Structure 1
């Protein structure tokens, strides 16, 4: 006799490209589904590549616990109190090594840093960032790491002006993979670099263990390569229809796109509250 799947206890969802619409907002249907999930006793945890400073407008949707896993697992962040509860940063010495290897193999790469106190960047790093209008350190990465303007970092960002994004990721992993976790979540040639062993999956697993929730009771959603470990770890993983081809190929369960409220539709089915 086939054993019934355990009742879901936790929804773990990526944000950009997965839960949020193309405009970066939570739709009315999705907001209602998140609220209904909490009312039904399911915990909802946002597991995102976003740094903590990008979480401000999501506070109303975070659930009673108020916690999000940010920067691809580098920070467990209390969104309402705006404080890091736990962090797993990439030490300065390791960041310096990774940057050196990427400069050697991939000339033209520019770097930026997400840190506990904000962000810093090289002058050549011109990707628009939320909060870029605020004062922040600018200078060569090696100087920022040496003079103390950047200390342990949640995430190193690496941008290349020309390379195909997937080739950029492959080359970077070949150059520095053993020293750090290197992934991507953006449609452009932008990589996200964290401490070795730190992924969305590793920190979500830690959070679930603290809550007494088995992985078999976790339903996860994602769309990009930085979600792959989480989707594989969860008892049930869903890729949204607009996901990266690698994610669509790796994940058995699919839902409709983020703009069509794909996460909300699955949640509604899970709690028996389908909305039109």
Structure 2
């Protein structure tokens, strides 16, 4: 159901965990005044706010000024925890080992010929010649994934946060199924793009597992977490959180996983629920 005053809410939440693209952000990648006010009010009420995203730390400027008193973000689908107040300082890294990444690349080349790859390091992204170019990262180097992942290459000491795999012809969910079948025993596969673009992390690394680690360090249980998301890379987090909301624009798998549904990102669905939480406190 869509969020109303009868929606499921914990008696005393302690942490709000929200995805960004398609969830907190409008489609033009801005944060509305209503959402800015709701985030500030939540922190004044003593709730922690975590941004939990597939974005790398260097793409967090869209929300950096709205972190108020906290400032922690879980980036790259759980592979990195960063302090946005400290310029994106890495506090925790959960890498994909390079040898494993190479095994995944080989498996996907066999299972889905035509797959192209990008490698997201803690220092930036690099990609293959046929991979869709990252216009936000003009300094990226271009080479075959096997070369980019080779431990003798420059920047090889930098942890691999995730590998991205793109296919021009397969459907997004179809590509995800093929990849998990071929290499799901090696790494974690998910997606957040409307195109056939997969995000590959270390085995067991996800938004949910890193959020659980961060909450355990703070003595916060899953029952005290309210989470928001819209795409398959949010499913585990929404399942783990005691209370979770799929956006009105969410993928069907997300709608099935969440305990509630709110309005779309364009309608400030996250802010609507935060306002309800604060009204009940």
Q: State the shift of 1:149 in Å.
A: 3.8
Pairing partner for 1:138 from 142, 145, 151: 142
Provide the rounded CA distance (Å) in 2 between the counterparts of 1:241 and 1:229: 18
* 1:40-81 C-alpha deviation (Å, 9 max, x unpaired): 111000000101111123211123121100000000011121
Aligned residue in 2 for 1:86: 92
Aligned residue in 2 for 1:222: 229
Q: State the shift of 1:114 in Å.
A: 1.1
Q: TM-score, normalised by structure 1?
A: 0.94
- Is the partner of 2:198 in helix, strand or coil? strand
* 1:153-202 C-alpha deviation (Å, 9 max, x unpaired): 10100000110000000000000001000000000010000000100000
CA contact (8 A) 1:238 1:253 kept: yes
The runs of at least 4 consecutive aligned structure 1 residues that moved more than 4 Å come to none
Q: Does 1:7 align with 2:15?
A: no
Q: Does 1:102 align with 2:108?
A: yes
- Is the partner of 2:178 in helix, strand or coil? helix
- Is the partner of 1:44 in helix, strand or coil? strand
Aligned residue in 2 for 1:19: 24
Q: Does 1:124 align with 2:133?
A: no
Q: State the shift of 1:150 in Å.
A: 5.5
Q: Does 1:245 align with 2:249?
A: no
Q: State the shift of 1:250 in Å.
A: 2.3
Provide the rounded CA distance (Å) in 2 between the counterparts of 1:114 and 1:80: 22
Pairing partner for 1:48 from 50, 53, 67: 53
Q: Does 1:208 align with 2:191?
A: no
Aligned residue in 1 for 2:238: 231
* Gapped regions of structure 2 (runs ≥ 5): 1-8
Provide the rounded CA distance (Å) in 1 between the counterparts of 2:105 and 2:10: 45
Pairing partner for 2:193 from 186, 192, 195: 186
Provide the rounded CA distance (Å) in 1 between the counterparts of 2:161 and 2:22: 21
Provide the rounded CA distance (Å) in 2 between the counterparts of 1:115 and 1:158: 15
Provide the rounded CA distance (Å) in 2 between the counterparts of 1:49 and 1:108: 24
Q: State the shift of 1:117 in Å.
A: 0.9
Provide the rounded CA distance (Å) in 1 between the counterparts of 2:37 and 2:268: 11
CA contact (8 A) 2:119 2:148 kept: no
Q: Does 1:72 align with 2:77?
A: yes
Provide the rounded CA distance (Å) in 2 between the counterparts of 1:122 and 1:43: 39
